[in-house]
Amino acid sequence: MPKLLLATNNPGKIRELRQLLADCGWELVTPSELGLTLSDEEVGSTYEENAKMKALKAAQASGLHALADDSGLDVQALGGELGPRSARFGGEGAIYQQKMALLLERLQGVQPRPGRGCRFTCVIAIAEPQGGVYFGQGICLGVVAEVPRGEGGFGYDPIFYLPDMGRTMAELAAEEKNMISHRARAAQMARQTLKELLYDYERGLPTSQPAG
C-alpha cells in the first residue's frame, strides 16, 4: 500500500483527515512518524496557494505523495476576512480562545443576518513528488455565534453556528461534523483523486501533471 503524507502538524487536522480518508487505499502517515520537520508557514494570499505550497514542500521533502489543506473563516461583515489569514489572526502566538474573543469584539452590535453570516472554506491539495498537484474544495455556511459553545472540534468551531442544526460546529459529534463540514466536502473530492492516482500507481503509470 503506498504512503500518503498528511502535511500538517495540527493534531486536530490529522485526526479529522484520518477519519475522512479512512479506507482510501493509501497508508496515511504524518511528518512526526517519518521524522520530518515541516513548516506550517502560510504566506500565500489564497487558500489554493497555501495548500499547494505546503503539499509540494512535503512531497519534495519526503519523496511521497502528500496532502495538505488550508482552511479559514470568511465573515461577511468583515468583507470576507479572516480568510486565508485565519490562523494568523490576532498575531503570532495568539491561541484560538484569544482569536475568537478578538473576532467577537469586532462584531459587537452586528446583527446575525446578514452581517454575522460566515462560511468555512477548505482547499485540499494533493502533490506528487514529480510536481503534479490536484485540488479539492469544500464550503460550509453558518453564522458567527455571540459566544463560544461546545468542546469538540478545534479552531473556530465553537463560534461557527449552524442555524439548521441549532448548534455550533464544536457541539457536533465527530460523525456529524464529518458529514457536513468544509473539510469533509473537500475530502470527498480528494478521495476521488486518490482513487485515480492509486489506479495509476498500481499499474506503474506516470501520474504527474503540470502543477495547477
Q: For each of the chain's 212 residues, which pLDDT tens digit applies?
A: 899 999 999 999 999 999 999 999 999 999 999 999 887 777 788 999 999 999 999 999 999 999 999 999 999 999 999 999 999 899 988 999 999 999 999 999 998 777 899 999 999 999 999 999 999 999 999 999 999 999 999 999 999 999 999 999 999 999 999 999 999 999 999 999 999 999 877 777 655 443 33
Q: Which residues pair with 29 in a beta bridge?
A: 5
| Alpha-carbon span 127 to 134, nearest angstrom | 7
Closest by CA to 123, choosing from 67, 196, 171, 79, is: 67
| Alpha-carbon span 19 to 29, nearest angstrom | 13
Q: Which residues are catalytic?
A: 70
Coil, strand or helix: which one is 135?
Answer: strand
Instruction: Say which residues have a Cβ less than 8 Å from residue 92's Cβ, sequence separation at least 6.
Output: none
| Alpha-carbon span 184 to 177, nearest angstrom | 8
Question: What domains does the chain contain, in order, with CATH numbers?
Answer: 3-202 (3.90.950.10)
pTM for this structure?
Answer: 0.90
Indicate the burial class of 210 (C-beta count within 10 angstroms; 0-12, 13-18, 19 or more).
exposed
